[in-house]
Structure 1
Amino acid sequence: MAITDSGAQNVMFVHGSCHGGWCWKKLVQYLNPNEFNIFLPTLTGLGERSHLANENTDLNTHIEDILQVFKYEDLSNVILIGHSYAGMVISGVAEVIPDKIKLLIYLDAYIPQDGKTAFDLVPGLIDLYKGRTMHDQNKPWLVKSYTPHEFDISDTKDVQWVEPKLVPMPWHTHTQPLKVKNKESMKIPKAFVTSGAFGEGMFQRQTEEEKNKWDYYELKRGHDVMITAPEELARILSIIISKENR
């Protein structure tokens, strides 16, 4: 739950694979609390909710997590920001409640395609994940987390902060296809921020016509840019939001 200012803009940050709501802490200190009501939910089976992970945890579970925040916080006119895997999550939420979302911001994130899974969108990812499944703990439905360095984090203090908080990722979050068909969700303004090779590849795989539909920014400071360059990212997000408010 967040204590909010009724005159401020609702902004919800949704984390990616292996992370939790904790990963935005460095970033939000650069956002004016008088301007933004900030929500930092943690998806089921991750972060402080990692004890809830089970073999049935999937993309729908995480979409429902965010829908429940909207419901119980009585939210509307929300700027919804998704990092990495959460591009799938926020897109799924937009399919259900497009009338409650003002702007979608994809931060080095998946750009979904109708009927495709996260594995479908990234060639070779399924083989990589198969090699990280936790058969040794009799939990083949969990995938070992990437390391901080694999998330492009190199600062020693950041590594020490992040490493103990990273947790395995439920396998079925990446095997479930997402339907992207709602014409109203397609009308929601969208912005993309590229911060690493993953996001750049995801964005560049689109056609020129598709690229032109996005408000596009670059801050190439590594995939976990909310940790490696929080102040600069906060500045870009403020620009995107201000532009949309004009």
Structure 2
Amino acid sequence: MMLTSSHLSSIPAPRIFDRGAASYRLVKLALLAGLALTLGQAAPQPDYLRTALATFNPAVPSGWAYTQITTQNKTTITERYDPAKPAAEQWTLIQNNGQIPTAKELAQYVPYKAAQASSLTQPVFSPSDIEPASLELLRENAARAVFTGRFRVAATATDKMLGHLQLQLTVNKQHSQIERVTLELLAPYSPVLGVKMNELTVTMDFALATADQPSLPTTRTSHFSGRILFFGNEENVHVIYDAYHRTPPPTGTKR
């Protein structure tokens, strides 16, 4: 009798192949389950990052006087901030474009600074605004690691601008401290009617904390390009924080 293909297809396969196929399916299911479990779990954050986030403060801590040198495009002003003085006298104009300010410039400066006083010492964001689970390692070496991330949904609901920014943190591994923060606009954005932001990058650098002082800002650099009303606008700002000095609280206040 000649065996045809139809006969061959009707011959039952040895049971060893059934057991092998079943085993293969079980192994495959186990691997897929393990992969799903792995993907569902966020990678644990290193200890130095958790410590850096817990101790980070992007603002100048209260009780510290400092000199602020601001260069905006081609204009440079040097100011001194002293929280020990009465509120109306805490900011002092020291130089305007390298020159001692005139009486007219001082007269213009005082009310201008007083109007801004409530926002001048406020940080761009609060450490609690950062979403720790969003932080991903971008690159690292033996000394430092750079992470990218976003801000919490609750923070972006309060300050919509934060929802349009990418956060980048440079962390000193040995000291478990944040040395640099970079904020970058993800896409063109209109925060208010008549204003269009095409580019925005803000970089803040911080000195490491020591036994004598906390981590303090050293520089802040920003680049902006966009449109205000019908006019194109580009601004480059560089701020230096210098000559820090711890001061006592103003007379009659409690710390």
TM class by shorter-chain length? under 0.3
**Higher strand fraction: Structure 1 or Structure 2?**
2
| TM-score normalised over the length of structure 2 | 0.26
The structure with higher relative contact order (CA 8 Å, sep 6+) is: 1
**Higher radius of gyration, 1 or 2:** 2
